[in-house]
C-alpha cells in the first residue's frame, strides 16, 4: 500500500531565502508521524507547503497517490487535509461556534456538522460552555483547543498539527496529546510538528528529524527517543 | 423649526445615498485593505446605466409608469455597475494583489479617471447635466411638520433595508462568515477551504450593486446627473467610511448619516451657507480622527496574525 502522504525532495523558498531544501518523508494511513527539529529548521514551512499556502520550488507532494503540489489551499482541504496552524490563528472576532462552523465551511451536511460540533464540545467542555463568546477572549490553551476542534470539523483524513502544545501548561499539554491519540484511534492520520519532542515521539509511529531545511534522520518514534543524537540535540541531554 | 426638521430630513436622505456607496468602500477595504478610489465612479456609471435603460430600452408606453420603469432602471444600473466593478477587480486589482500597497491605490485613481472619461466619450453630453426621469416620483409625502419628496423617502427606505440586509448576510450566512474570516486572516481562511478569489469577487459585486442602486435613486431624486457625480459623492462616502471606522459596515452607514446631516445643517446654519458645507464635513472628520484615529466603530488595533 502506498503512503497516504508522500513528500519527496521538497524545496521551498521565501524569495531568495531557501527555508526547506531537501525534505523527504511519508505518512501511512492511520499513523501518527512527527517532524522534530530546532527553531527555524523548516517544519512550519513544510506543513504550509503541504496545505497549499506555499508553493514548492521543487520536489513532490503526493496525497493518496495524487500529485497535489501547487494546488490552491482550498482544493487541498477538499481532498482531506486539514492544517491546524502554528500559533493557533483562531478568528478572534468571531465566536467559538462561528470558528467551528468555518472549520466545516466546505461541508453541507447540516446534521453531521451539528453532531461534530457537539463532539468538539464533549472533548473540550469549556468551548461548549462559552460557545457564543468571541474566540479572542479565550486563553492560549483554550484557543488551542478551539483550533484543533476547528481543524477536526472538516473530517480530514490527514490532520496536520503545528506545535499544538506551544505555551500550554503541562495539564493542557497532556490533554492535547491524549486527544491526538484518541483521534488516531478513531481513524484520523496525524502529522505532528512539536517542540516537545519527547512527548511527540512517545506517541508517534514514526518520526523525522529536520535540520536546516533537510530531513536528516528518521525511525520509529521509540527508536528515535533512544537515539543518542536525538537525545543530545532535541531532548536537552548531553 | 420647520426649516430645521426639513433640513434634517434632507440630511438623512443624503446620508442614505452616501451610506450605500460607503458600504462598498468599507467592505473592499475590510477584505483587501484597498481604498478603491474608483468606487465613486461605479456609483456614477450605475446612474448612467439606469438613465440608458430609460432612454433607449424602455418602450415609451412604460416610461411614465414608475412602478415598471424604476425597477427596470435599477436593474440596469446594477448590471452596469457590477459589470464594471468585476472587470476592474479582475484586470486592474487582481494582478496587483501582492504588489506594494501604493500600486493598487494609484491604479484605483487611474481607473477612476478612465471611467469618468469613458462615460464622457460614450454617453452623449455626459459632462453636462443630463435630465433624469422624475415624473414618476415628484409627489410630496407629509410627515407631520415636514414634507419630504417621495424620492427621498424611497432612498431612505431602500438604503436602510439594504444595509440591514447586508448586515444580516455578513453575520449570519455561510458566505458572510467566509468574508469575515478572509478579512481577519486570509491564510487561515484558506485553510478552512475558503477560496479568497471568490470572496473578493463577491465583495466587489455586492459593493457595486449597492452603488448601482444608489446611483439610480440619486438620479431620480436630484433629477440630473453628469460624469462628475461619482467624484463628489465618492469623496463623501469615503469620508463616511473613515469617520465610521473603515472596515466596519455599521460605521459606514452611521458615518454617512452624520455626514449627510453635517452637510445640510452646515449649509443652512453655518456662516458661508452651502458654499462652505464641505468644510464642516472635513472639520468633523479631522476632529474625530485626532481623538479616535480608528474612526467611530473601528477596532483600536487590528489584530492580524
Ligand atoms: N515569511 C517568511 N519570510 C522569510 N523567511 C521566512 C519566513 N517564514 C520563515 N522563514 C525562514 O524560513 C526558515 C524556516 O522557518 P520555519 O518557520 O519553517 O521553521 P520551523 O522549523 O517551523 O521553526 P520553529 O520551531 O521556530 O517554528 C527560517 O530560517 C525562517 O527564518
Ligand atoms: Mg514552526
Q: Which three cell numbers stand for residue B167?
A: 448586515
More confident residue, A208 or B276: A208
DSSP string for A95-110: BHHHHHHHHTTT---H
Chain A closest CA to B287's CA: distance in Å? 28
Alpha-carbon span A205 to B35, nearest angstrom = 51
Query: Residues B23, B204: contact at Cβ < 8 Å?
Result: no
Q: Closest by alpha carbon to A28, among A152, A189, A156, A155?
A: A189
Name B25's Cβ contacts closer than 8 Å, sequence gap at least 6. Answer: B35, B36, B39, B207, B237, B238, B241, B246, B252
Q: What pLDDT does B302 receive?
A: 46
Instruction: Name the band, by pLDDT with cuts 50, 70 and 90, for residue A205.
Output: very high
Instruction: Name the band, by pLDDT with cuts 50, 70 and 90, for residue A236.
Output: low
Q: What pLDDT does A81 receive?
A: 98
With CB atoms and an 8 Å threshold, state whether B177 touches A150.
no
Q: Which atom of ligand 1 is nearest the CA belonging to A47?
A: 18
Q: What pLDDT does A196 receive?
A: 85
Query: Residues B28, B203: contact at Cβ < 8 Å?
Result: yes
CA of A36 to the centre of ligand 1 (A): 14
Tell me the per-residue pLDDT of B216-269, one tens digit each, with 9 for 90 and over. Answer: 999 999 999 999 999 999 999 999 999 999 999 999 999 999 999 999 999 888
A208 pairs with which residues across the strands?
A35, A218
pTM of the complete model beyond 0.90 = yes
Domains detected in chain A:
5-89+157-234 (3.40.50.300)
Tell me the per-residue pLDDT of B165-201, one tens digit each, with 9 for 90 and over. Answer: 999 999 999 999 999 999 999 999 999 999 999 999 9
Phi/psi of residue B160, nearest 5 degrees? -65, -45
Q: What pLDDT does B147 receive?
A: 84
Q: What pLDDT does B289 receive?
A: 85
The dihedral formed by the CA atoms of B34, B38, B40 and B45, expressed in degrees to the nearest 10: -140
Name A109's Cβ contacts closer than 8 Å, sequence gap at least 6. Answer: none
Q: Is the pLDDT of residue B137 over 70?
A: no
Alpha-carbon span B15 to B206, nearest angstrom = 19
Q: Which atom of ligand 1 is nearest the CA belonging to A37?
A: 21
Q: Closest by alpha carbon to B74, among B58, B50, B97, B98?
A: B50
Q: Is the pLDDT of residue A87 over 70?
A: yes
Nearest CA to ligand 1 atom 26: A39
Q: Which three cell numbers stand for residue A235?
A: 531532548
Q: Compare all CA atoms of chain B with the CA of A152 and give the residue at the minimum distance.
A: B192
Q: Is the pLDDT of residue B300 over 80?
A: no
Angle at A125 between CA A198 and CA A108, to 5 degrees: 100
Tell me the per-residue pLDDT of A140-184, one tens digit each, with 9 for 90 and over. Answer: 889 999 999 999 999 999 999 999 998 788 888 898 999 999 999
Nearest CA to ligand 1 atom 25: A39
DSSP string for chain A: ---SEEEEEEEEEETTEEEEEEEEEEE-TT-EEEEE--TTSSHHHHHHHHTTSS--SEEEEEETTEE-TT--HHHHHHHTEEEE-TT----TTSBHHHHHHHHTTT---HHHHHHHHHHHHHHSHHHHHTTTSBGGGS-HHHHHHHHHHHHHTT--SEEEEESTTTT--HHHHHHHHHHHHHHHHTT-EEEEE-S-HHHHHHH-SEEEEEETTEEEEEE-HHHHHH-HHHHHHHSS--
Q: What pLDDT does B303 receive?
A: 37
Q: Is the pLDDT of residue B1 over 80?
A: no
Tell me the per-residue pLDDT of B110-133, one tens digit each, with 9 for 90 and over. Answer: 999 999 999 999 999 989 999 998
Produce one character per residue of B119-143: b if its CB has 16 or more CB atoms within 10 Å, e if not: beeebeebeeebebbbebbeeeeee
Question: Which residues of chain A does B178 touch, with a Cβ-Cβ cutoff of 8 Å?
Answer: 102, 105
Distances in Å between the alpha carbon of B210 and those of A60, A229, B294, B298? 46, 64, 24, 22
Q: What pLDDT does B301 receive?
A: 47
Please indicate whether residue A105, judged by its CB atom, sits closer than 6 Å to ligand 1: no
Please indicate whether residue A43, judged by its CB atom, sits closer than 6 Å to ligand 1: yes
- Residues near ligand 2 ion, CB 5 Å cutoff: A 44, 86
**Window from A50-54, A90-94, B285-289 with minimum mean pLDDT:** B285-289
Whether the CA torsion B34, B35, B38, B40 is positive or negative: it is positive
Query: Residues A198, A48: contact at Cβ < 8 Å?
Result: no
Q: Which three cell numbers stand for residue B23?
A: 458600504
Tell me the per-residue pLDDT of A33-77, one tens digit each, with 9 for 90 and over. Answer: 999 998 999 999 999 999 999 999 999 999 999 999 989 999 999
With CB atoms and an 8 Å threshold, state whether B177 touches A82.
no
Q: Give mean pLDDT, residues A94-123.
A: 96
Q: What pLDDT does B135 receive?
A: 62
Distances in Å between the alpha carbon of B49 and those of B66, B212, B228, B229? 17, 8, 15, 14
Q: What pLDDT does B49 receive?
A: 97
Distances in Å between the alpha carbon of B288 and those of A175, B245, B274, B284, B292? 48, 10, 22, 6, 5
Q: Is the pLDDT of residue B305 over 60?
A: no
Please indicate whether residue A49, judged by its CB atom, sits closer than 6 Å to ligand 1: no
Segments making up each domain of chain B, as ranges: 2-227
Amino acid at each position: 500500500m502506498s503512503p497516504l502522504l508522500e513528500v519527496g525532495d521538497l524545496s521551498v523558498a521565501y524569495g531568495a531565502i531557501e527555508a526547506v531544501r531537501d525534505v523527504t518523508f511519508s505518512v501511512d494511513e492511520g499513523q501518527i508521524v512527527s517532524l522534530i527539529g530546532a527553531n527555524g529548521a523548516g517544519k512550519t514551512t513544510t506543513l504550509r507547503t503541504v496545505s497549499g499556502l506555499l508553493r514548492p520550488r521543487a520536489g513532490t507532494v503526493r496525497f493518496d497517490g495524487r500529485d497535489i503540489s501547487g494546488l490552491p489551499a482550498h482544493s487541498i482541504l477538499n481532498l482531506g487535509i486539514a492544517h491546524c496552524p502554528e500559533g493557533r490563528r483562531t478568528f478572534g472576532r468571531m465566536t467559538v461556534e462561528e470558528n467551528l462552523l468555518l472549520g466545516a465551511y466546505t461541508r453541507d451536511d447540516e446534521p453531521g456538522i451539528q453532531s461534530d460540533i457537539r463532539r468538539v464540545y464533549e472533548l473540550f467542555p469549556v468551548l461548549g460552555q462559552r460557545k457564543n463568546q468571541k474566540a479572542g477572549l479565550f486563553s492560549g490553551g483554550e484557543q488551542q483547543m478551539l483550533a484543533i476542534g476547528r481543524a477536526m470539523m472538516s473530517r480530514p483524513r490527514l490532520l496536520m498539527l503545528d506545535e499544538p502544545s506551544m505555551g500550554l501548561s503541562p495539564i493542557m499539554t497532556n490533554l492535547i496529546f491524549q486527544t491526538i491519540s484518541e483521534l488516531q484511534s478513531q481513524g484520523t492520520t496525524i502529522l505532528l510538528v512539536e517542540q516537545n519532542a519527547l512527548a511527540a515521539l512517545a506517541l508517534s509511529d514514526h518520526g523525522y528529524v529536520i535540520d536546516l531545511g533537510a530531513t536528516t534522520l528518521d525511525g520509529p518514534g521509540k527508536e528515535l527517543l533512544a537515539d543518542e543524537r536525538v537525545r543530545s540535540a532535541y531532548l536537552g541531554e548531553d | 423649526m420647520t426649516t430645521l426638521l426639513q433640513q434634517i430630513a434632507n440630511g438623512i436622505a443624503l446620508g442614505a445615498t452616501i451610506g450605500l456607496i460607503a458600504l462598498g468602500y468599507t467592505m473592499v477595504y475590510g477584505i483587501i485593505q484597498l481604498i478603491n478610489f474608483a468606487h465613486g465612479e461605479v456609483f456614477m456609471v450605475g446612474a448612467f446605466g439606469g438613465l440608458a435603460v430609460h432612454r433607449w430600452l424602455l418602450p415609451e408606453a412604460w416610461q411614465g409608469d414608475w412602478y415598471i420603469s424604476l425597477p427596470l432602471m435599477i436593474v440596469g444600473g446594477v448590471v452596469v455597475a457590477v459589470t464594471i466593478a468585476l472587470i476592474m477587480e479582475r484586470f486592474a486589482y487582481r494582478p496587483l494583489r501582492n504588489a506594494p500597497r501604493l500600486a493598487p491605490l494609484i491604479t484605483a485613481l487611474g481607473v477612476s479617471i478612465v471611467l469618468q472619461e469613458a462615460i464622457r466619450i460614450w454617453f452623449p453630453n455626459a459632462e453636462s447635466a443630463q435630465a433624469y426621469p422624475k415624473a414618476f416620483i415628484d409627489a410630496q409625502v407629509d410627515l407631520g411638520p415636514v414634507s419630504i419628496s417621495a424620492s427621498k423617502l424611497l432612498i431612505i427606505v431602500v438604503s436602510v433595508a439594504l444595509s440591514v440586509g447586508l448586515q444580516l448576510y455578513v453575520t449570519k450566512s455561510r458566505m458572510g462568515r467566509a468574508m469575515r474570516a478572509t478579512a481577519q486572516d486570509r491564510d487561515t481562511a484558506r485553510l478552512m477551504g475558503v477560496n479568497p478569489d471568490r470572496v473578493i469577487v463577491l465583495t466587489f459585486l455586492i459593493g457595486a450593486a449597492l452603488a448601482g442602486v444608489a446611483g439610480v435613486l440619486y438620479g431620480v431624486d436630484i433629477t440630473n446627473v453628469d460624469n462628475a457625480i461619482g467624484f463628489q459623492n465618492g469623496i463623501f462616502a469615503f469620508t463616511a467610511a473613515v469617520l465610521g471606522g473603515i472596515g466596519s459596515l455599521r460605521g459606514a452607514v452611521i458615518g454617512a448619516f452624520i455626514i449627510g446631516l453635517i452637510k445640510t445643517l452646515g449649509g443652512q446654519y453655518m456662516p458661508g451657507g452651502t458654499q462652505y458645507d464641505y468644510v464642516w464635513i472635513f472639520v468633523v472628520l479631522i476632529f474625530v480622527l485626532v481623538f479616535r484615529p480608528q474612526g467611530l466603530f473601528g477596532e483600536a488595533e487590528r489584530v492580524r496574525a
